[in-house]
Amino acid sequence: MSAPALAEVAGWDLPLLRGAVWTLDSVAAGLPAWRSRIEVVGRSLEDAHCWYGAAAQSAGAALVEVSTVATAVTAALDESLGHAQRLLAEAKVAQELAERALAVAASVPVVLDGAGRLVALPAVPIGAEAGLGVDQTAAALQAQELAEEALQSAARAQLAADEAGSALTRVGVGGGLVPATFDDLLGPVRAGAGIAAVLPPPGGSDDRAAWWSGLSAADRLTAIREIPGRIGQLDGLPAWARDQANQELVDRALADPSVPGHAVAVSVSAEIARREVAGEEVQLHEFQPAEGLVALAIGDLDTADHVGLLVPGTGTDPIGDLDDLADDAGTVADATTVAAPAATVATIAWMGYRAPSNLAQAASPHYSWAGGRALDATLDGLASARAATSGGRPHTTVIGHSYGTLVVDRAADAPGRLAADDVVLLGSPGMDNTAAELEVDGVYEASAPFDPVSSVLDVHGSRTDSWLFGAEALPTDWRNWHTGYYDEDGPTATAMGEVVAGVREPA
């Protein structure tokens, strides 16, 4: 394509170009949400019991193809948009310089050709001295310099336009940007199948969430199938993906009784089956059986308005206590639904750290250090995964019981703010931080009158029921002892539901 002439640059229709860039931006911004809805439908088909067989499989495969094409087109649009924005910026500069060059040339007056060169001097009256005066010469040279700069910007604009078009033709848009059919778009995607990297990048949960968002549906399924051990543990990925990967790991562990963590897999599988038979939705958010680490969510973490995460204390492990902690999570979820009937709720039975197994071990803060880091990473991952979707972050409450409050304490010490809105502390043995130092909007605590841990022991810091600590007290029952805070008919569980729902009024 030949370079534009100076007069053409001065006459470019920038409002039209600006409108085209705006339209491209709007399409690129809207496509991810549309693609997300398609993928939700696809995942719903996988779980549907009313439609199965060849037709259902064909529909599911078609939705995967649509999502995969949408992913490729989104990436192409984003790339094209970047070039188009550069085109608009360079075109604006080029036009302004071209207009100035022509105006200065006309004031001399001299004539500039299409390439910005001086080609004609003004006519000399009879008897006048030939040539330009000093000021006219300076103006003529300025006009030529402005024209040269204008054409350089125009060349950069033309290059940006070519690159904007090339980004689209690589995914099947025809030459001259002729509208493409779905088959046109699908061809290059199929040709490049298997090339896209499905290995997660280094970095934090935000980086992983961005990586996952950029994968096609086919690449996501490949990652879940090929590297479930990686996908299931990646903070920042949506809960549905981690659940699918971790369920695959459970099946593998169940198939071989000799593998480390087989007993954990048996416990997890039984709890999932028990709740699914009862009609509950569950998601296996973490599963590291050899290390004894499990996190089981009741509800949908990807869509819930309110999320409550329960951190247990001394003497808890997934083999013997997952069912009890999941029951506690269910109690909190039920209380939250009562407090906010129109809201959606998910709660997590979080056994993401190795808790001390007895009171002697509980006297040491050692277990809370790794637990705090793990809890902080889990909360960051939940926030990143939700921030990467159109739904945004949920209202999140962390509920620590007994030694679990010390884990919450250590999580607040991790770099950055705690990715939660409220904290509830139950039967705490003491904390180093004050309520204000936990970095959340609301801090609540419950210490039953005859709880020997919270009322007698303060081995790990200040008592949480002290006015110096600064937490708002939740109601308790004298019968709570140390293990009854989650009793479904007790006042503390009702109050916790109000906190998780974000409707708890100050006492």
Q: What is the pLDDT of residues 318-330, one digit of tens each?
A: 999 999 999 999 9
- On the question of pLDDT at 107 being above 60, the answer is yes
Highest mean pLDDT among 94-98, 219-223, 415-419, 456-460: 415-419
> Does 243 map to a domain?
no
- The answer to whether residues 12 and 98 belong to one domain is yes
pLDDT digits (tens, 9 = 90+) for 363-401: 777 888 899 999 999 999 999 999 987 668 999 999 999
pLDDT of 46: 62
- The answer to whether residues 158 and 265 belong to one domain is no
pLDDT of 128: 42
- The answer to whether residues 275 and 173 belong to one domain is no
User: How is 367-416 classified by DSSP, letter by letter?
Assistant: HHHHHHHHHHHHHHHHHHHHHTSTT-PPEEEEEEETHHHHHHHHHHHSSS
CB 339 within 8 A of CB 503: yes
pLDDT digits (tens, 9 = 90+) for 220-229: 888 888 889 8
CB 136 within 8 A of CB 108: yes
Domain finish residue from 167, 191, 215 = 191
- The answer to whether residues 291 and 401 belong to one domain is yes
Q: Which band of pLDDT confidence, cut at 50, 70 and 90, is reported for residue 196?
A: very low
pLDDT of 130: 46
> Does 468 map to a domain?
yes
- On the question of pLDDT at 468 being above 80, the answer is yes
Q: Which band of pLDDT confidence, cut at 50, 70 and 90, is reported for residue 250?
A: very high
Cβ-Cβ contacts under 8 Å for 115 (sequence gap 6 or more): 3, 5, 6, 151
- The answer to whether residues 280 and 173 belong to one domain is no
> Does 207 map to a domain?
no
Q: Specify which residues 445 forms β-bridges with.
A: 425, 473
Cβ-Cβ contacts under 8 Å for 232 (sequence gap 6 or more): 242, 245, 246, 248, 249, 284, 286, 287
Domain finish residue from 151, 171, 191 = 191
pLDDT of 292: 93
- On the question of pLDDT at 282 being above 50, the answer is yes
Highest mean pLDDT among 93-107, 132-146, 178-192, 289-303: 289-303
- The answer to whether residues 181 and 264 belong to one domain is no
Instruction: Give the mean pLDDT of 160-189.
Output: 65
Q: How many CB atoms lie within 10 A of CB 153?
A: 21
Q: How many CB atoms lie within 10 A of CB 174?
A: 12
- On the question of pLDDT at 160 being above 60, the answer is yes
Q: Which band of pLDDT confidence, cut at 50, 70 and 90, is reported for residue 183?
A: low
**Cβ-based burial of 80 (10 A; exposed 0-12, middle 13-18, buried ≥19):** buried
- The answer to whether residues 348 and 462 belong to one domain is yes
> Does 449 map to a domain?
yes
pLDDT digits (tens, 9 = 90+) for 73-101: 777 777 788 888 888 898 899 889 888 88
- The answer to whether residues 297 and 170 belong to one domain is no
- The answer to whether residues 305 and 448 belong to one domain is yes
CATH of the domain at 50: 1.20.1260
Scanning the structure block, which residue is given the tokens 């999941």? 326
CATH of the domain at 474: 3.40.50.1820
Residue predicted with more confidence, 82 or 265:
265
Please give the backbone phi and psi of residue 281, each rounded to the nearest 5 degrees, phi first: -90, 130
The CA R_g of the chain, rounded to the nearest whole Å, is 32
- The answer to whether residues 161 and 265 belong to one domain is no
Amino acid letter for position 33: A
pLDDT of 493: 95
Instruction: Give the mean pLDDT of 295-302.
Output: 96
**Cβ-based burial of 216 (10 A; exposed 0-12, middle 13-18, buried ≥19):** buried
Full domain range(s) for residue 472: 258-501
- On the question of pLDDT at 501 being above 90, the answer is yes
Closest C-alpha to 434, from 456, 465, 407, 459: 465
> Does 252 map to a domain?
no
DSSP 358: S
Residue predicted with more confidence, 347 or 187:
347
Give the tokens for residue 361: 């071990």
Q: Which band of pLDDT confidence, cut at 50, 70 and 90, is reported for residue 156?
A: confident
pLDDT of 382: 97
CA angle (157 as vertex; 89, 93 as ends), nearest 5: 45
> Does 233 map to a domain?
no
Residue predicted with more confidence, 461 or 87:
87
Q: Specify which residues 311 forms β-bridges with.
A: 400
The Cα 400–Cα 418 span in angstroms is 14
Closest C-alpha to 333, from 299, 301, 302: 299
Please give the backbone phi and psi of residue 272, each rounded to the nearest 5 degrees, phi first: -65, -45
Which has the minimum average pLDDT: 8-22, 178-192, 371-385? Answer: 178-192
Which has the minimum average pLDDT: 15-24, 165-174, 253-262, 309-318? Answer: 165-174
- The answer to whether residues 167 and 270 belong to one domain is no
> Does 156 map to a domain?
yes
Instruction: Give the mean pLDDT of 164-178.
Output: 65
Average pLDDT, rounded, for the chain: 83
Alpha-carbon distance values, 372 to 130, 294, 315, 367 (Å): 87, 15, 17, 9
Helix extents (H) in 48-133: 54-107
pLDDT of 342: 95
- Give how many domains the chain has, as a whole number: 2
> Does 230 map to a domain?
no
- The answer to whether residues 331 and 440 belong to one domain is yes
Residue predicted with more confidence, 86 or 285:
285
CB 90 within 8 A of CB 68: no
Instruction: Give the mean pLDDT of 28-36.
Output: 74
Give the tokens for residue 482: 């140390």
In three-state secondary structure terms, 108 is: coil
Instruction: Give the mean pLDDT of 58-64.
Output: 65
Domain finish residue from 174, 191, 208 = 191
